[in-house]
Structure 1
Amino acid sequence: MSTLMTIAERETFLAGTHIGMLSVPDRHASLLIPIWYAYTEGGEIRISTPSGSRKLGLIQEAGYVGFAVQQEEMPYKFVSIDGPVTAYEPTDPEEYRRWAIRYLGPLNGERFFASIKDALSSWITIHIRPQRWRTFDFGKEFG
């Protein structure tokens, strides 16, 4: 039996709440970093970062990134993509507030957002179009 996810399964899994792992090439070694993200099925992955960050500079230089999410408990699953960066835009504070609540829950999300909202005026949201997909669902091994 194949352990590959269907298109619907991979889209739903990527749209779930996971910490993403962003991979960006560098001259000496890839930058690999955990990051919050947003994804709507059939759309693009969105991440945000401060405008002066090393991460943003490397992403702008490369124009192309790798990204993965996983489920760490059984049944193990992952979705990995790579693709081009399609847009850079100022981070929308309200969207980032929704991310904070998504990842931290209502109380801690609001608290975290309150501590960072002023800094968001200098953040950039990056859009990534999934181009190549790799998936694995260990649960399919057991039928």
Structure 2
Amino acid sequence: MSLTVEERERFFAEPLVAVLSVAAGSERGPVTAPVWYAYRPGDDIMLFTGRTSRKARLIEQAGRFTLTVQRTSPSYRYAAVEGPAAFVAVTPELVEKVAGRYLPADEVPRYARDVLTRGEELIAIRLRPERWNAADLGPSH
């Protein structure tokens, strides 16, 4: 059963690990990788990655990408969102916002400090939701 706009946005706002997919050219399938992200219903989706990572380079080339999340219980539910990408500077606040969805609160500051100082230059990527595909395949309510 398709999810309403409100249902899919609430579901996507849960701290689920997303799978990012971006076109990798005509000779290969898309690059697909798990990512942490931040999202509030009605807003853009934010994530960060290495500035020179393959996925960042491919997103820059394609100008867009897809994120998919899923849950297998109590019923199988998924949501995929696709749209244009924009690159912005990574801030400590963004790293803490993303990490805070996945880590215990007392571990977030150390994680953020480590990520921001480990040597790899990071870039934030904003996904503007344009197209959604979402459903709950469990029993009818």
Same-fold status (TM-score > 0.5) = yes
Q: What do residues 36-86 of structure 1 show as CA deviations (whole Å, max 9, x unaligned)?
A: 00112111111111111111100000011111111122211111111111x
Which residue of structure 2 aligns with residue 6 of structure 1?
Answer: 4
SS of the aligned residue for 2:3 comes to coil
Q: What residue in structure 1 maps to residue 38 of structure 2?
A: 38
Give the aligned partner of residue 68 of structure 2: 68
59-68 or 72-81, which deviates more: 72-81
Equivalent runs, 1:84-123 vs 2, <5 Å: 84-85=84-85, 87-119=86-118, 122-123=121-122
Higher helix share: 1
Is residue 91–residue 120 contact of structure 1 (8 Å, CA) maintained in 2? no
Q: Any idea what SS the aligned residue of 2:6 has?
A: helix
Residues 14 and 79 of structure 1 are in contact (CA less than 8 Å); yes or no, is this contact kept in structure 2? yes
Give the number of aligned pairs. 139
> How far apart, in 2, do the equivalents of 1:74 and 1:101 lie?
25
* Structure 1 consecutive aligned stretches of length 4 or more whose deviation exceeds 3 Å: none
Query: In 1, distance between residues paired with 2:17 and 2:140?
Result: 26
Q: Percent same amino acid at aligned positions?
A: 32
Change (3 A) 1:120 1:93: farther
Structure 2 runs not aligned, ≥5 long:
none
Q: In structure 2, what is the Cα distance between the partners aligned to 1:102 and 1:61?
A: 29
Q: Distance in 1 between matches of 2:54 and 2:122?
A: 13
Q: Distance in 1 between matches of 2:47 and 2:98?
A: 10
Which consecutive unaligned segments of at least 5 residues does structure 1 have?
Answer: none
Q: TM-score, normalised by structure 1?
A: 0.88
Cα distance 1:29–1:121, how it changes in 2: closer, same or farther (>3 A)? closer
Task: Tell me the SS of whatever aligns to 1:103.
Answer: coil
Task: Name the SS for the 1:125 alignment partner.
Answer: strand
What is the letter of the counterpart of residue 6 of structure 2? A
What is the distance in 1 between the residues matched to 2:43 and 2:101? 18
Counterpart position of 1:124: 123
Q: How far off its partner does 1:109 sit?
A: 2.7
Residue range with higher mean Cα deviation, 117-126 or 72-81 = 117-126
